[in-house]
């Protein structure tokens, strides 16, 4: 389903490379810089003269009165109004946010959730979800896919948390483990396939060594058993011999949940969406976790590949294309587009 340019209510969009002071990323790191003075930093938006107290972990952040951002010399910024980080459907993201376990980072320049929403909800509105489905899992979509964020269906209509995901969480007893599994993105064509997407932007894929409280490999595997009557996608014998810092915890959970959520004869796929230059070896690393028959169901996909889908060249997609071309990470161009 494709909407016309007049039907898509694009928001002004986040700040991009065109808006930033030249050399801002390096300027915040240097003590002798026109962007820094004793205890203060200047707003990173080009031509802005507002000076703000440097952010610390204990102080309430101060925001530029003109641009609504708080500056960190790391370097990055955070929006006072998190919705400013979203390119479209502020009404919908506000509803979906209520179901998300961790939502306090949505206003960060480095938010992978904001990037994911802008790209995939944008693609939905310009008719690009079938193209994304094929890129992510290698099959041509037989119909317009359903789109889910954090387990909440948002396209073609908002329908709340998917009951199949809620049931899968209960089956695993995740309510006793802390944060439940909420796939970043899911695309599903009923009767054909489902693909779960682990989206990464400024951070790497998580390993079991980063899991808190600590969990050993056998305990982790016991939490996510194979369904009776279905082939186990994980090579559990190989994983049992791995160190905790070798086990790709987030991706393995997605693999198991894809298996749980695939209905009947549907295929179960997982895609790891990363920046073009990041984690080039993730396919090889994940293949060591998967049984031989499941290795074809995992893919590494670059954000840049999504930005080059044919739908991105339609007139109605111009704001989304501009967003991806000018998107920043740590005040520098995020993508090679």
Confidence (pLDDT) at 5: 56
Shared-domain flag, residues 221 and 76: no
pLDDT band at 230 (very low <50, low <70, confident <90, very high): confident
Confidence (pLDDT) at 239: 98
Confidence (pLDDT) at 172: 87
Shared-domain flag, residues 199 and 286: yes
Asked whether 145 and 187 are in contact (CB, 8 A), the reply is yes
Shared-domain flag, residues 211 and 79: no
Q: Is residue 45 part of a domain?
A: yes
pLDDT digits (tens, 9 = 90+) for 43-58: 999 999 999 988 766 6
pLDDT digits (tens, 9 = 90+) for 154-185: 999 999 999 999 999 998 888 777 778 999 99
User: Which residues, 6+ apart, have CB-to-CB distance to 325 below 8 Å?
Assistant: 16, 307, 335, 337
Shared-domain flag, residues 258 and 151: yes
Q: What size, in residues, is the chain?
A: 337
Question: 147: phi > 0 → left, psi -120 to 50 → alpha, else beta; which?
Answer: beta
Distance CA(249)–CA(254), nearest Å, equals: 9
pLDDT band at 103 (very low <50, low <70, confident <90, very high): confident
pLDDT digits (tens, 9 = 90+) for 46-93: 999 999 988 766 678 899 999 999 998 889 999 999 999 999 999 999
First to last CA, the chain: 26
Shared-domain flag, residues 206 and 326: no
Shared-domain flag, residues 137 and 264: yes
329 φ/ψ angles, rounded to the nearest 5 degrees: -140, 120
pLDDT digits (tens, 9 = 90+) for 3-44: 665 678 999 989 999 999 999 999 998 888 999 998 899 999
Q: Rounded mean pLDDT of 206-225?
A: 93
Shared-domain flag, residues 189 and 300: yes
Confidence (pLDDT) at 1: 64
Confidence (pLDDT) at 234: 98
Q: Is residue 109 part of a domain?
A: no
Overall domain count for the chain: 2
Q: Is residue 113 part of a domain?
A: no
Shared-domain flag, residues 218 and 248: yes
pLDDT band at 2 (very low <50, low <70, confident <90, very high): low
Confidence (pLDDT) at 277: 93
Q: Is residue 123 part of a domain?
A: no
pLDDT digits (tens, 9 = 90+) for 115-149: 999 999 999 999 999 999 999 999 999 999 999 99
pTM of the model: 0.95
Place of tokens 């959730």: 113
Distance CA(76)–CA(70), nearest Å, equals: 9
pLDDT digits (tens, 9 = 90+) for 237-248: 999 999 999 999
Indicate the average pLDDT of the chain.
94
Shared-domain flag, residues 220 and 282: yes
- Residue-wise over 73-98: b if at least 16 C-beta within 10 A, else e? bebbbbbeebebbbbbbeebbeebbe
Shared-domain flag, residues 16 and 69: yes
Domain around 65: 5-97+311-333
193-199/267-274 β-pairing: parallel
Question: 48: phi > 0 → left, psi -120 to 50 → alpha, else beta; which?
Answer: beta
Confidence (pLDDT) at 57: 66
Shared-domain flag, residues 299 and 166: yes
Shared-domain flag, residues 323 and 206: no
Asked whether 277 and 334 are in contact (CB, 8 A), the reply is no
**What is the percentage of the chain residues whose pLDDT exceeds 90?**
83
Q: Is it the case that residue 211 has pLDDT exceeding 90?
A: no
């Amino acid at each position: 389903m494709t909407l016309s340019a007049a039907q898509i209510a694009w928001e002004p969009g986040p700040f991009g490379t065109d808006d930033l002071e030249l050399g801002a990323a390096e300027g915040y790191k240097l003590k002798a810089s026109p962007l820094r003075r004793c205890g203060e930093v200047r707003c990173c938006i080009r031509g802005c003269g507002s000076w703000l107290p440097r952010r610390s972990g204990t102080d309430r952040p101060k925001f530029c009165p003109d641009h609504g951002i708080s500056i960190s010399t790391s370097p990055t910024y955070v929006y006072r109004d998190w919705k400013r980080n979203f390119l479209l459907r502020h009404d919908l993201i506000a509803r979906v946010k209520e179901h998300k376990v961790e939502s306090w980072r949505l206003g960060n320049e480095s938010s992978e959730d904001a990037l994911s929403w802008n790209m995939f909800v944008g693609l939905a509105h310009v008719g690009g979800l079938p193209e994304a489905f094929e890129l992510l899992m290698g099959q041509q979509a037989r119909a317009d896919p359903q789109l889910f964020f954090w387990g909440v269906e948002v396209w073609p209509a908002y329908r709340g948390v998917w009951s199949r995901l809620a049931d899968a969480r209960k089956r695993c007893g995740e309510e006793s483990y802390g944060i439940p599994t909420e796939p970043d993105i899911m695309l599903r064509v009923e009767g054909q396939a489902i693909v779960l997407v682990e989206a990464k932007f400024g951070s790497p894929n998580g390993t079991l060594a980063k899991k808190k409280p600590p969990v050993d490999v056998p305990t982790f595997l016991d939490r996510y058993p194979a369904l009776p009557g279905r082939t186990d996608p994980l090579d559990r014998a190989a994983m049992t011999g791995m160190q905790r810092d070798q086990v790709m915890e987030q991706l393995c959970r997605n693999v198991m949940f894809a298996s749980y959520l695939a209905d009947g004869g549907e295929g179960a796929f997982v895609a790891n969406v990363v920046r073009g230059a990041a984690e080039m070896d993730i396919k090889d690393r994940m293949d060591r976790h998967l049984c031989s028959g499941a290795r074809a169901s995992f893919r590494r996909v670059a954000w840049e590949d999504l930005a080059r889908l044919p739908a991105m060249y339609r007139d109605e997609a111009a704001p989304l294309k501009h967003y991806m071309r000018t998107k920043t990470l740590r005040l520098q161009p995020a993508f090679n587009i």
